[in-house]
């Protein structure tokens, strides 16, 4: 009756941007990214990848409320970098890693079916 539609959890509503950026007004090189309609799947890999960047001083994410279908990723970097740069870098690195994983799995599939 008054339950929200299930697709609201993963369809970005019209007029809303998937990712928005908000600079921290108190700390230099700190910012928050709000990602709509995502949860721990993306948040966790993004955070862990950001931790591997030596220019990142702080990286964390949170789901503000279970009925607000978004995550807020907070990034604080050194002066050698910027939150936007670190964010883009982490996504590119994750993309590269997944490309490699896909190739490795496909190669292993071929090898396995040949040995069988």
Binding site for another protein (CB under 8 A): 6-7, 9-11, 17-21, 23, 28-29, 35, 38, 40-42, 44-49, 52-53, 79-82, 84-85, 87-102, 104-106, 108-109, 111-113, 116
First CA to last CA distance, the chain:
54
Q: How far is the CB of 90 from another protein (least distance, A)?
A: 8
**β partners of residue 34:** 20, 72
Q: How far is the CB of 18 from another protein (least distance, A)?
A: 6
Q: Which is nearer to another protein, 29 or 76 (CB)?
A: 29
In the block, tokens 């990286």 appear at 59
Helix ranges (DSSP H) in 4-82: 40-51
Helix ranges (DSSP H) in the chain: 40-51, 83-115
Secondary structure percentages of the chain, helix, strand, coil, to 5: 40, 25, 35
Q: Which is nearer to another protein, 2 or 100 (CB)?
A: 100
Q: Which is nearer to another protein, 2 or 79 (CB)?
A: 79
Q: What DSSP designation does 32 have? A: E
Q: How far is the CB of 105 from another protein (least distance, A)?
A: 5
Q: How far is the CB of 67 from another protein (least distance, A)?
A: 15
Q: Which is nearer to another protein, 11 or 62 (CB)?
A: 11
């Amino acid at each position: 009756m008054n339950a929200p539609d299930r697709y609201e959890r993963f369809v970005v509503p019209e007029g809303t941007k998937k990712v928005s950026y908000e600079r921290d007004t108190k700390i230099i090189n700190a910012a928050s990214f709000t990602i709509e309609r995502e949860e721990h799947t993306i948040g966790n890999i993004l955070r862990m990848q950001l931790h591997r960047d030596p220019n990142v001083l702080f990286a964390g994410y949170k789901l503000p409320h279970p009925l607000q279908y978004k995550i807020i990723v907070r990034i604080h970097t050194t002066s050698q970098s910027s939150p936007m740069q670190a964010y883009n870098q982490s996504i590119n690195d994750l993309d590269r890693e997944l490309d490699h994983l896909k190739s490795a799995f496909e190669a292993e599939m071929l090898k396995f079916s040949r040995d069988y």
